[in-house]
Structure 1
Amino acid sequence: MQIVRSYAKGRWGQVHLRSAGSSGGEKLPLVCIHSTPSSGAMWDAILPRLGRDRLVIAPDTPGYGMSDPPPAPVSIRDHAQALAVLCDELGLGGIDLAGFHTGSIIATELANLRPDLVRRVVVFGLAAYDAEARAKRLAGVRTVFPEPAADLVHIEKLWAKLTELADPRLQPEERHVAMADTLRTGSRLPWGFMAVYGHDFIAAMGQVAQPVLVMNPEDDLWLPTRAHWQAYPDARLVEIPGVKHGVLKLETDRVEAEMRAFLDMEPTCC
Protein backbone atom coordinates (compact mmCIF):
# COMPACT_ATOMS: atom_id res chain seq x y z
CA MET A 1 0.00 0.00 0.00
CA GLN A 2 1.29 3.44 -0.93
CA ILE A 3 1.94 6.12 1.67
CA VAL A 4 0.39 9.42 0.59
CA ARG A 5 1.95 12.74 1.59
CA SER A 6 -0.05 15.92 1.97
CA TYR A 7 -0.38 19.14 3.95
CA ALA A 8 -3.13 20.41 6.22
CA LYS A 9 -3.79 23.68 8.00
CA GLY A 10 -2.40 23.73 11.52
CA ARG A 11 -2.15 26.02 14.51
CA TRP A 12 1.17 27.53 13.39
CA GLY A 13 0.98 27.07 9.64
CA GLN A 14 1.09 23.99 7.46
CA VAL A 15 1.35 20.48 8.87
CA HIS A 16 2.98 17.78 6.76
CA LEU A 17 1.20 14.40 6.86
CA ARG A 18 1.87 10.83 5.85
CA SER A 19 -1.20 8.65 5.52
CA ALA A 20 -2.28 5.20 4.38
CA GLY A 21 -5.66 3.56 4.03
CA SER A 22 -9.01 5.30 4.00
CA SER A 23 -11.74 6.37 6.37
CA GLY A 24 -15.36 5.37 6.25
CA GLY A 25 -15.03 1.82 7.57
CA GLU A 26 -15.91 0.47 10.98
CA LYS A 27 -12.50 1.21 12.51
CA LEU A 28 -11.50 4.60 13.83
CA PRO A 29 -8.61 6.46 12.22
CA LEU A 30 -5.26 6.01 13.96
CA VAL A 31 -3.02 9.06 14.45
CA CYS A 32 0.69 8.31 15.08
CA ILE A 33 2.97 10.86 16.76
CA HIS A 34 6.73 10.60 16.37
CA SER A 35 9.62 11.07 18.78
CA THR A 36 11.94 14.08 19.05
CA PRO A 37 13.75 15.05 16.83
CA SER A 38 12.37 12.68 14.22
CA SER A 39 9.41 13.01 11.84
CA GLY A 40 6.38 11.02 10.79
CA ALA A 41 8.71 8.99 8.58
CA MET A 42 9.57 6.83 11.60
CA TRP A 43 6.11 5.20 11.20
CA ASP A 44 6.61 4.29 7.51
CA ALA A 45 6.90 0.55 8.20
CA ILE A 46 3.63 0.54 10.16
CA LEU A 47 1.38 2.82 8.13
CA PRO A 48 0.76 0.47 5.16
CA ARG A 49 0.24 -2.51 7.49
CA LEU A 50 -2.40 -0.91 9.70
CA GLY A 51 -3.80 1.07 6.76
CA ARG A 52 -5.23 -2.10 5.22
CA ASP A 53 -8.49 -1.61 7.09
CA ARG A 54 -8.41 1.90 8.55
CA LEU A 55 -7.05 5.37 7.92
CA VAL A 56 -3.63 5.84 9.53
CA ILE A 57 -2.06 9.30 9.71
CA ALA A 58 1.45 10.28 10.85
CA PRO A 59 1.89 14.06 11.03
CA ASP A 60 5.20 15.83 11.49
CA THR A 61 4.85 17.70 14.78
CA PRO A 62 5.20 21.51 14.53
CA GLY A 63 8.81 22.47 13.86
CA TYR A 64 9.92 18.95 12.89
CA GLY A 65 10.01 17.12 9.59
CA MET A 66 8.38 19.41 7.05
CA SER A 67 5.78 21.05 9.31
CA ASP A 68 5.94 24.77 9.98
CA PRO A 69 7.32 25.67 13.42
CA PRO A 70 5.78 27.72 16.20
CA PRO A 71 7.48 31.09 16.75
CA ALA A 72 9.13 29.94 20.00
CA PRO A 73 9.42 26.78 22.12
CA VAL A 74 6.01 25.52 23.26
CA SER A 75 4.70 23.16 25.93
CA ILE A 76 3.34 19.64 25.69
CA ARG A 77 -0.13 21.09 26.27
CA ASP A 78 0.42 23.38 23.28
CA HIS A 79 1.43 20.37 21.15
CA ALA A 80 -1.68 18.47 22.26
CA GLN A 81 -3.90 21.45 21.46
CA ALA A 82 -2.24 21.78 18.05
CA LEU A 83 -2.91 18.09 17.38
CA ALA A 84 -6.55 18.57 18.36
CA VAL A 85 -6.77 21.49 15.90
CA LEU A 86 -5.32 19.24 13.19
CA CYS A 87 -7.80 16.43 13.91
CA ASP A 88 -10.69 18.90 13.74
CA GLU A 89 -9.30 20.34 10.49
CA LEU A 90 -9.18 16.83 9.02
CA GLY A 91 -12.75 16.12 10.16
CA LEU A 92 -11.77 13.28 12.48
CA GLY A 93 -14.67 12.88 14.90
CA GLY A 94 -12.99 10.11 16.87
CA ILE A 95 -9.51 8.57 16.79
CA ASP A 96 -7.12 6.10 18.30
CA LEU A 97 -3.66 7.44 19.11
CA ALA A 98 -0.14 6.03 19.00
CA GLY A 99 2.94 7.85 20.24
CA PHE A 100 6.67 7.17 20.42
CA HIS A 101 8.72 8.79 23.24
CA THR A 102 7.79 12.51 22.94
CA GLY A 103 4.79 11.32 20.95
CA SER A 104 3.72 9.20 23.94
CA ILE A 105 3.56 12.32 26.10
CA ILE A 106 1.66 14.33 23.49
CA ALA A 107 -0.79 11.43 23.00
CA THR A 108 -1.33 11.18 26.76
CA GLU A 109 -1.99 14.92 27.03
CA LEU A 110 -4.45 14.86 24.12
CA ALA A 111 -6.28 11.91 25.70
CA ASN A 112 -6.78 14.04 28.81
CA LEU A 113 -7.55 17.22 26.88
CA ARG A 114 -10.07 15.64 24.50
CA PRO A 115 -11.62 12.47 25.94
CA ASP A 116 -14.46 13.02 23.46
CA LEU A 117 -11.97 12.56 20.60
CA VAL A 118 -9.58 9.82 21.80
CA ARG A 119 -10.77 6.22 22.32
CA ARG A 120 -7.56 4.18 22.89
CA VAL A 121 -3.87 5.01 23.22
CA VAL A 122 -0.70 3.08 22.31
CA VAL A 123 2.59 4.40 23.68
CA PHE A 124 6.17 3.35 22.95
CA GLY A 125 8.54 4.33 25.77
CA LEU A 126 7.72 6.63 28.66
CA ALA A 127 9.97 9.60 29.47
CA ALA A 128 8.56 9.47 33.00
CA TYR A 129 10.85 11.39 35.35
CA ASP A 130 10.32 13.13 38.68
CA ALA A 131 10.70 16.89 39.00
CA GLU A 132 14.36 16.77 40.04
CA ALA A 133 15.37 14.54 37.12
CA ARG A 134 13.42 16.68 34.66
CA ALA A 135 15.06 19.88 35.90
CA LYS A 136 18.52 18.33 35.56
CA ARG A 137 17.82 17.15 32.02
CA LEU A 138 16.34 20.49 31.04
CA ALA A 139 19.41 22.33 32.32
CA GLY A 140 21.70 20.12 30.22
CA VAL A 141 19.74 19.98 26.99
CA ARG A 142 22.02 22.42 25.15
CA THR A 143 25.06 20.43 26.22
CA VAL A 144 23.64 17.33 24.56
CA PHE A 145 22.33 19.28 21.55
CA PRO A 146 24.52 22.38 21.08
CA GLU A 147 23.67 25.25 18.74
CA PRO A 148 24.86 24.83 15.13
CA ALA A 149 28.41 26.10 14.78
CA ALA A 150 30.98 26.55 12.01
CA ASP A 151 33.30 23.88 13.44
CA LEU A 152 30.55 21.23 12.99
CA VAL A 153 31.10 19.86 16.51
CA HIS A 154 27.31 19.76 16.89
CA ILE A 155 27.13 17.32 13.97
CA GLU A 156 29.75 15.03 15.49
CA LYS A 157 27.85 15.01 18.79
CA LEU A 158 24.58 14.30 17.03
CA TRP A 159 26.02 11.40 15.02
CA ALA A 160 27.53 9.93 18.20
CA LYS A 161 24.17 10.18 19.99
CA LEU A 162 22.25 8.60 17.12
CA THR A 163 24.79 5.76 16.94
CA GLU A 164 24.58 5.21 20.69
CA LEU A 165 20.78 4.96 20.66
CA ALA A 166 20.27 3.03 17.41
CA ASP A 167 19.84 -0.71 17.29
CA PRO A 168 23.09 -2.16 15.87
CA ARG A 169 21.11 -3.95 13.15
CA LEU A 170 20.27 -0.61 11.55
CA GLN A 171 22.59 0.29 8.70
CA PRO A 172 24.69 3.49 8.75
CA GLU A 173 22.62 4.77 5.81
CA GLU A 174 19.47 4.55 7.95
CA ARG A 175 21.11 6.61 10.68
CA HIS A 176 22.27 9.05 8.00
CA VAL A 177 18.68 9.54 6.77
CA ALA A 178 17.46 9.99 10.35
CA MET A 179 20.19 12.55 10.92
CA ALA A 180 19.04 14.53 7.89
CA ASP A 181 15.60 14.88 9.49
CA THR A 182 17.27 16.06 12.66
CA LEU A 183 19.57 18.59 11.00
CA ARG A 184 16.61 20.20 9.23
CA THR A 185 15.44 21.58 12.58
CA GLY A 186 18.59 23.71 13.07
CA SER A 187 18.63 25.42 16.45
CA ARG A 188 15.07 24.21 17.11
CA LEU A 189 16.32 20.65 17.57
CA PRO A 190 15.93 20.53 21.39
CA TRP A 191 12.55 22.28 21.56
CA GLY A 192 10.73 18.97 21.85
CA PHE A 193 12.99 17.83 24.67
CA MET A 194 12.44 21.15 26.44
CA ALA A 195 8.69 20.54 26.28
CA VAL A 196 9.13 17.00 27.64
CA TYR A 197 11.28 18.05 30.59
CA GLY A 198 8.95 20.91 31.44
CA HIS A 199 5.94 18.60 31.72
CA ASP A 200 4.75 16.50 34.67
CA PHE A 201 4.14 13.37 32.63
CA ILE A 202 3.70 11.03 35.59
CA ALA A 203 0.83 13.13 36.92
CA ALA A 204 -0.75 13.30 33.46
CA MET A 205 -0.59 9.52 33.10
CA GLY A 206 -2.69 9.13 36.24
CA GLN A 207 -5.52 11.17 34.71
CA VAL A 208 -5.99 9.06 31.56
CA ALA A 209 -9.41 7.40 31.43
CA GLN A 210 -8.85 5.51 28.15
CA PRO A 211 -7.27 2.05 27.85
CA VAL A 212 -3.52 2.26 27.16
CA LEU A 213 -1.14 -0.25 25.58
CA VAL A 214 2.44 0.37 26.73
CA MET A 215 5.06 -1.01 24.35
CA ASN A 216 8.52 -1.10 25.90
CA PRO A 217 11.49 -1.81 23.61
CA GLU A 218 14.86 -2.01 25.34
CA ASP A 219 16.00 1.50 24.41
CA ASP A 220 16.94 4.49 26.56
CA LEU A 221 13.45 4.58 28.14
CA TRP A 222 13.36 0.87 29.03
CA LEU A 223 13.84 1.44 32.78
CA PRO A 224 11.62 4.55 33.23
CA THR A 225 8.84 2.74 31.37
CA ARG A 226 9.16 -0.33 33.59
CA ALA A 227 9.10 1.85 36.68
CA HIS A 228 6.08 3.99 35.82
CA TRP A 229 3.77 2.32 33.29
CA GLN A 230 1.26 1.44 35.99
CA ALA A 231 0.63 5.14 36.59
CA TYR A 232 -1.95 4.75 33.82
CA PRO A 233 -5.17 3.56 35.52
CA ASP A 234 -6.02 1.11 32.71
CA ALA A 235 -2.84 -0.14 31.04
CA ARG A 236 -1.21 -3.28 29.69
CA LEU A 237 2.56 -3.67 29.26
CA VAL A 238 4.27 -5.45 26.37
CA GLU A 239 8.05 -5.60 26.63
CA ILE A 240 10.30 -6.07 23.62
CA PRO A 241 13.74 -6.91 25.01
CA GLY A 242 16.84 -6.82 22.86
CA VAL A 243 15.64 -4.05 20.54
CA LYS A 244 16.84 -0.44 20.71
CA HIS A 245 15.76 2.46 18.49
CA GLY A 246 14.41 1.06 15.24
CA VAL A 247 11.79 -1.25 16.76
CA LEU A 248 9.07 -0.18 14.31
CA LYS A 249 11.23 -1.34 11.40
CA LEU A 250 12.94 -4.32 13.05
CA GLU A 251 9.89 -5.79 14.79
CA THR A 252 7.15 -4.70 12.40
CA ASP A 253 5.23 -7.99 12.49
CA ARG A 254 5.08 -8.07 16.28
CA VAL A 255 4.27 -4.37 16.58
CA GLU A 256 1.45 -4.70 14.07
CA ALA A 257 0.04 -7.78 15.81
CA GLU A 258 0.11 -6.18 19.27
CA MET A 259 -1.41 -2.92 18.06
CA ARG A 260 -4.14 -4.68 16.09
CA ALA A 261 -5.08 -6.91 19.01
CA PHE A 262 -5.36 -3.90 21.29
CA LEU A 263 -7.09 -1.50 18.92
CA ASP A 264 -9.59 -4.11 17.73
CA MET A 265 -10.42 -5.34 21.23
CA GLU A 266 -14.10 -5.26 22.09
CA PRO A 267 -14.93 -2.88 24.95
CA THR A 268 -15.51 -4.59 28.28
CA CYS A 269 -18.97 -4.39 29.68
CA CYS A 270 -19.64 -2.41 32.85
Structure 2
Amino acid sequence: MKNKNIYRNYVNLKSGQVHIRISGKEKNDRRPLVCFHLSPVSGIIFEKLMMEMGQDRLIIAPDTPGFGMSDYISSEPTIRDYAKVMKDLINKLKIQNLDIMGYHTGSKICVELANLIQERINHLILISAPIYKKNELEEQHKNMGNYTAPKGDGSHLIKAWNGLWKWRGPNQMPTDIMKIFPDQIKGGHKSHWGHKAAFSYTYPERIKNIKIPILVINTKDDLFNYTKRIKKYLINGKIFEKKDWGHGFLDHNTKEIAKYTRNFLDKNEWPREAP
Protein backbone atom coordinates (compact mmCIF):
# COMPACT_ATOMS: atom_id res chain seq x y z
CA MET A 1 0.00 0.00 0.00
CA LYS A 2 1.31 3.44 -0.94
CA ASN A 3 1.20 6.04 1.79
CA LYS A 4 -0.97 8.39 -0.25
CA ASN A 5 -3.66 5.78 -0.78
CA ILE A 6 -6.71 5.33 1.38
CA TYR A 7 -8.15 1.92 2.01
CA ARG A 8 -11.37 1.06 3.79
CA ASN A 9 -12.33 -1.66 6.19
CA TYR A 10 -14.99 -2.77 8.67
CA VAL A 11 -14.25 -3.40 12.33
CA ASN A 12 -16.55 -5.71 14.27
CA LEU A 13 -17.50 -4.36 17.69
CA LYS A 14 -20.17 -5.31 20.23
CA SER A 15 -22.23 -2.35 19.02
CA GLY A 16 -22.01 -3.48 15.39
CA GLN A 17 -19.72 -2.89 12.44
CA VAL A 18 -17.84 0.39 12.16
CA HIS A 19 -16.63 1.46 8.73
CA ILE A 20 -13.22 3.14 8.68
CA ARG A 21 -10.93 4.86 6.20
CA ILE A 22 -7.21 4.38 6.77
CA SER A 23 -4.10 5.97 5.29
CA GLY A 24 -0.43 5.64 6.21
CA LYS A 25 1.73 2.94 7.71
CA GLU A 26 0.78 1.21 10.94
CA LYS A 27 4.39 1.18 12.16
CA ASN A 28 5.40 4.80 12.47
CA ASP A 29 7.35 7.01 14.85
CA ARG A 30 4.46 9.48 14.95
CA ARG A 31 1.25 8.91 16.85
CA PRO A 32 -1.86 7.88 14.91
CA LEU A 33 -4.43 10.60 14.24
CA VAL A 34 -8.09 9.58 14.50
CA CYS A 35 -10.69 11.93 12.98
CA PHE A 36 -14.42 12.18 13.74
CA HIS A 37 -16.78 13.78 11.23
CA LEU A 38 -19.75 16.12 11.55
CA SER A 39 -23.37 14.97 11.29
CA PRO A 40 -24.93 13.61 9.20
CA VAL A 41 -22.16 12.80 6.70
CA SER A 42 -19.16 10.46 7.03
CA GLY A 43 -15.39 10.18 7.16
CA ILE A 44 -15.32 11.09 3.47
CA ILE A 45 -14.76 14.72 4.50
CA PHE A 46 -11.26 13.84 5.71
CA GLU A 47 -10.06 12.00 2.58
CA LYS A 48 -7.83 14.73 1.14
CA LEU A 49 -6.33 15.47 4.55
CA MET A 50 -5.74 11.75 5.01
CA MET A 51 -3.82 11.49 1.76
CA GLU A 52 -1.59 14.34 2.93
CA MET A 53 -1.16 13.39 6.59
CA GLY A 54 -0.87 9.69 5.73
CA GLN A 55 2.54 10.39 4.24
CA ASP A 56 4.11 10.52 7.70
CA ARG A 57 1.66 8.86 10.12
CA LEU A 58 -1.30 6.52 10.41
CA ILE A 59 -4.57 8.42 10.06
CA ILE A 60 -8.00 6.87 10.54
CA ALA A 61 -11.46 8.31 9.92
CA PRO A 62 -14.35 6.16 11.18
CA ASP A 63 -17.95 6.69 10.19
CA THR A 64 -19.94 7.48 13.33
CA PRO A 65 -22.45 4.70 14.12
CA GLY A 66 -25.54 5.18 11.96
CA PHE A 67 -23.75 7.32 9.38
CA GLY A 68 -21.79 6.51 6.25
CA MET A 69 -21.39 2.74 6.18
CA SER A 70 -21.37 2.10 9.94
CA ASP A 71 -24.14 0.21 11.72
CA TYR A 72 -26.63 2.05 13.89
CA ILE A 73 -26.44 1.82 17.64
CA SER A 74 -29.53 -0.13 18.78
CA SER A 75 -31.17 2.83 20.55
CA GLU A 76 -30.99 6.59 20.19
CA PRO A 77 -27.41 7.45 21.20
CA THR A 78 -25.80 10.19 23.23
CA ILE A 79 -22.40 11.71 22.56
CA ARG A 80 -21.07 9.51 25.34
CA ASP A 81 -22.44 6.45 23.53
CA TYR A 82 -20.62 7.49 20.36
CA ALA A 83 -17.43 8.09 22.36
CA LYS A 84 -17.65 4.64 23.96
CA VAL A 85 -17.90 3.03 20.52
CA MET A 86 -14.84 5.00 19.40
CA LYS A 87 -12.98 3.88 22.51
CA ASP A 88 -13.84 0.27 21.66
CA LEU A 89 -12.68 0.87 18.09
CA ILE A 90 -9.34 2.29 19.23
CA ASN A 91 -8.86 -0.64 21.57
CA LYS A 92 -9.74 -3.13 18.83
CA LEU A 93 -7.17 -1.49 16.55
CA LYS A 94 -4.62 -1.79 19.38
CA ILE A 95 -3.81 1.92 19.39
CA GLN A 96 -2.26 2.91 22.71
CA ASN A 97 -1.40 6.60 22.26
CA LEU A 98 -3.01 8.90 19.76
CA ASP A 99 -4.10 12.38 18.70
CA ILE A 100 -7.70 13.14 17.80
CA MET A 101 -9.52 15.61 15.57
CA GLY A 102 -13.24 16.33 15.42
CA TYR A 103 -15.51 18.41 13.20
CA HIS A 104 -18.74 19.84 14.72
CA THR A 105 -20.47 16.77 16.23
CA GLY A 106 -17.11 15.02 15.95
CA SER A 107 -15.59 17.69 18.20
CA LYS A 108 -18.00 16.71 20.96
CA ILE A 109 -17.11 13.06 20.46
CA CYS A 110 -13.45 14.09 20.83
CA VAL A 111 -14.08 15.85 24.12
CA GLU A 112 -16.06 12.96 25.56
CA LEU A 113 -13.49 10.44 24.37
CA ALA A 114 -10.80 12.51 26.10
CA ASN A 115 -12.85 12.28 29.28
CA LEU A 116 -12.80 8.49 28.91
CA ILE A 117 -9.13 7.93 27.99
CA GLN A 118 -7.32 11.22 28.59
CA GLU A 119 -4.12 9.44 29.61
CA ARG A 120 -3.78 7.98 26.09
CA ILE A 121 -4.49 11.16 24.11
CA ASN A 122 -1.80 13.76 23.47
CA HIS A 123 -3.62 16.51 21.55
CA LEU A 124 -7.14 17.47 20.51
CA ILE A 125 -8.04 19.50 17.43
CA LEU A 126 -11.64 20.69 17.43
CA ILE A 127 -13.08 22.18 14.25
CA SER A 128 -15.74 24.33 15.90
CA ALA A 129 -16.80 23.98 19.54
CA PRO A 130 -20.05 25.92 19.99
CA ILE A 131 -21.43 27.23 23.25
CA TYR A 132 -25.17 27.95 22.97
CA LYS A 133 -27.52 30.11 24.97
CA LYS A 134 -30.79 28.43 25.94
CA ASN A 135 -32.88 30.04 23.19
CA GLU A 136 -30.23 29.28 20.57
CA LEU A 137 -30.12 25.64 21.59
CA GLU A 138 -33.90 25.39 21.40
CA GLU A 139 -33.75 26.80 17.87
CA GLN A 140 -31.09 24.28 16.87
CA HIS A 141 -33.19 21.42 18.24
CA LYS A 142 -36.19 22.73 16.30
CA ASN A 143 -34.31 23.11 13.01
CA MET A 144 -32.07 20.03 13.00
CA GLY A 145 -32.98 17.77 15.90
CA ASN A 146 -36.03 16.18 14.28
CA TYR A 147 -36.70 13.72 11.50
CA THR A 148 -37.69 15.07 8.08
CA ALA A 149 -39.92 12.54 6.34
CA PRO A 150 -39.45 11.88 2.61
CA LYS A 151 -41.86 13.67 0.26
CA GLY A 152 -43.28 12.25 -2.93
CA ASP A 153 -42.11 15.24 -4.92
CA GLY A 154 -38.55 14.96 -3.58
CA SER A 155 -38.74 18.35 -1.85
CA HIS A 156 -37.02 16.87 1.21
CA LEU A 157 -33.96 16.33 -0.98
CA ILE A 158 -34.04 19.93 -2.17
CA LYS A 159 -34.25 21.05 1.46
CA ALA A 160 -31.22 18.95 2.38
CA TRP A 161 -29.26 20.26 -0.61
CA ASN A 162 -30.18 23.88 0.10
CA GLY A 163 -28.98 23.51 3.68
CA LEU A 164 -25.55 22.44 2.47
CA TRP A 165 -25.48 25.09 -0.24
CA LYS A 166 -26.45 27.88 2.15
CA TRP A 167 -23.44 27.22 4.37
CA ARG A 168 -20.99 26.28 1.64
CA GLY A 169 -17.42 27.43 2.12
CA PRO A 170 -15.77 30.10 -0.03
CA ASN A 171 -14.35 27.56 -2.50
CA GLN A 172 -17.05 24.91 -2.47
CA MET A 173 -18.68 24.13 -5.80
CA PRO A 174 -21.73 21.98 -6.59
CA THR A 175 -19.38 19.04 -7.23
CA ASP A 176 -18.04 19.39 -3.67
CA ILE A 177 -21.55 19.34 -2.24
CA MET A 178 -22.44 16.33 -4.37
CA LYS A 179 -19.46 14.45 -2.93
CA ILE A 180 -21.02 14.47 0.55
CA PHE A 181 -24.72 14.64 -0.38
CA PRO A 182 -25.34 10.86 -0.57
CA ASP A 183 -24.12 10.46 3.02
CA GLN A 184 -26.18 13.50 4.04
CA ILE A 185 -29.40 11.64 3.18
CA LYS A 186 -28.32 8.04 3.85
CA GLY A 187 -29.35 8.02 7.52
CA GLY A 188 -33.05 7.90 6.69
CA HIS A 189 -35.43 8.10 9.65
CA LYS A 190 -32.48 8.15 12.08
CA SER A 191 -30.43 10.79 10.28
CA HIS A 192 -31.23 13.38 12.96
CA TRP A 193 -29.75 11.28 15.77
CA GLY A 194 -26.30 12.83 15.44
CA HIS A 195 -27.59 16.39 15.71
CA LYS A 196 -29.93 15.47 18.56
CA ALA A 197 -27.05 13.92 20.50
CA ALA A 198 -24.89 16.98 19.83
CA PHE A 199 -27.53 19.44 21.03
CA SER A 200 -28.00 17.43 24.23
CA TYR A 201 -24.28 17.67 25.04
CA THR A 202 -22.77 20.85 26.43
CA TYR A 203 -19.06 21.62 26.53
CA PRO A 204 -18.60 23.53 29.82
CA GLU A 205 -19.17 20.53 32.10
CA ARG A 206 -16.89 18.21 30.11
CA ILE A 207 -14.14 20.27 28.51
CA LYS A 208 -13.03 21.70 31.85
CA ASN A 209 -11.73 18.24 32.80
CA ILE A 210 -9.25 18.14 29.92
CA LYS A 211 -5.71 19.28 30.66
CA ILE A 212 -4.03 18.14 27.45
CA PRO A 213 -3.58 20.74 24.66
CA ILE A 214 -6.71 21.66 22.70
CA LEU A 215 -6.57 23.63 19.45
CA VAL A 216 -9.98 24.97 18.41
CA ILE A 217 -10.14 25.92 14.75
CA ASN A 218 -12.97 28.38 14.19
CA THR A 219 -13.84 28.74 10.53
CA LYS A 220 -16.43 31.09 9.06
CA ASP A 221 -19.26 28.58 9.02
CA ASP A 222 -22.61 28.19 10.76
CA LEU A 223 -20.97 27.74 14.20
CA PHE A 224 -18.48 30.62 13.97
CA ASN A 225 -20.09 33.02 16.45
CA TYR A 226 -21.02 30.28 18.93
CA THR A 227 -17.49 28.85 18.94
CA LYS A 228 -15.99 32.16 20.05
CA ARG A 229 -17.54 31.55 23.47
CA ILE A 230 -15.51 28.40 24.20
CA LYS A 231 -12.35 30.32 25.11
CA LYS A 232 -13.06 30.78 28.82
CA TYR A 233 -13.67 27.05 29.28
CA LEU A 234 -10.30 25.95 27.89
CA ILE A 235 -7.78 24.88 30.54
CA ASN A 236 -4.93 24.36 28.08
CA GLY A 237 -6.22 25.53 24.75
CA LYS A 238 -6.42 28.30 22.17
CA ILE A 239 -8.85 29.37 19.47
CA PHE A 240 -7.47 29.79 15.97
CA GLU A 241 -9.85 31.91 13.86
CA LYS A 242 -9.77 31.43 10.10
CA LYS A 243 -12.34 33.75 8.59
CA ASP A 244 -11.17 32.89 5.08
CA TRP A 245 -12.04 29.21 5.61
CA GLY A 246 -15.44 27.57 5.75
CA HIS A 247 -16.97 24.19 5.02
CA GLY A 248 -14.82 22.39 2.48
CA PHE A 249 -11.53 23.81 3.76
CA LEU A 250 -10.20 20.29 4.34
CA ASP A 251 -10.47 19.79 0.56
CA HIS A 252 -9.43 23.24 -0.61
CA ASN A 253 -6.84 24.25 2.00
CA THR A 254 -5.39 20.81 2.60
CA LYS A 255 -1.69 21.72 2.64
CA GLU A 256 -2.29 24.63 4.97
CA ILE A 257 -4.38 22.73 7.53
CA ALA A 258 -1.87 19.86 7.36
CA LYS A 259 0.95 22.27 8.21
CA TYR A 260 -0.90 23.64 11.25
CA THR A 261 -1.84 20.12 12.30
CA ARG A 262 1.70 18.75 12.05
CA ASN A 263 3.17 21.70 13.95
CA PHE A 264 0.65 21.29 16.75
CA LEU A 265 0.80 17.51 17.04
CA ASP A 266 4.52 17.00 16.47
CA LYS A 267 6.11 20.18 17.81
CA ASN A 268 3.51 21.44 20.32
CA GLU A 269 3.40 24.67 18.31
CA TRP A 270 0.22 26.74 18.34
CA PRO A 271 -0.62 28.68 15.16
CA ARG A 272 0.96 32.12 15.47
CA GLU A 273 -2.39 33.75 14.85
CA ALA A 274 -3.97 31.98 17.84
CA PRO A 275 -4.15 34.39 20.83
TM-score normalised by the chain length of structure 2: 0.91
- Tell me the amino acid that sits aligned with residue 55 of structure 1: L
Deviations 1:184-231 (A, max 9, x none): 111111110000111122321222121011111111111111122341
Mapped pair 1:82 → 2:72: no
Secondary structure of residue in 2 paired with 1:68: coil
Whether contact under 8 Å (1:129, 1:201) holds in the other structure is: no
**1:221 — aligned with what?**
223
Distance 1:4 1:24 in 2: 16
CA-CA distance at 1:243 after TM superposition: 2.2
Distance 2:247 2:191 in 1: 18
25, 34, 39: which is aligned to 1:31? Answer: 34
**2:149 — aligned with what?**
147
101, 104, 111: which is aligned to 2:104? Answer: 101
Deviations 1:78-136 (A, max 9, x none): 01111000000111111110001111110011011111221210110113224443244
How do residues 1-270 of structure 1 correspond to structure 2 at under 5 angstroms? 1-141=4-144, 146-265=148-267
Whether contact under 8 Å (1:98, 1:123) holds in the other structure is: yes
- Tell me the amino acid that sits aligned with residue 15 of structure 1: V
Mind listing any 5+ residue stretches in structure 1 that lack a counterpart?
A: none
Secondary structure of residue in 1 paired with 2:48: coil
Distance 2:95 2:138 in 1: 36
Mind listing any 5+ residue stretches in structure 2 that lack a counterpart?
A: 270-275
Deviations 1:46-75 (A, max 9, x none): 112111121100000100000111123200
Whether contact under 8 Å (1:102, 1:127) holds in the other structure is: no
- Tell me the amino acid that sits aligned with residue 97 of structure 1: I
- Tell me the amino acid that sits aligned with residue 263 of structure 1: L
- Tell me the amino acid that sits aligned with residue 189 of structure 2: S
Distance 1:232 1:47 in 2: 27
Distance 1:198 1:131 in 2: 11
254-263 vs 9-18, greater mean Cα deviation: 9-18
Whether contact under 8 Å (2:33, 2:59) holds in the other structure is: yes
Whether contact under 8 Å (1:42, 1:248) holds in the other structure is: yes
Distance 2:119 2:62 in 1: 21
CA-CA distance at 1:22 after TM superposition: 1.4
Report the aligned-residue RMSD: 1.7
CA-CA distance at 1:11 after TM superposition: 3.9
- Tell me the amino acid that sits aligned with residue 151 of structure 2: A
Report the count of equivalent residues. 266
Whether contact under 8 Å (1:131, 1:200) holds in the other structure is: no
CA 1:149–1:240 in 2, change beyond 3 Å: closer, same or farther?
Answer: same
Distance 1:198 1:192 in 2: 10
Whether contact under 8 Å (2:114, 2:121) holds in the other structure is: yes
CA 1:164–1:263 in 2, change beyond 3 Å: closer, same or farther?
Answer: same
Distance 2:229 2:127 in 1: 14
- Tell me the amino acid that sits aligned with residue 136 of structure 2: A
CA 1:128–1:11 in 2, change beyond 3 Å: closer, same or farther?
Answer: farther
Secondary structure of residue in 2 paired with 1:169: coil
Distance 1:198 1:50 in 2: 32
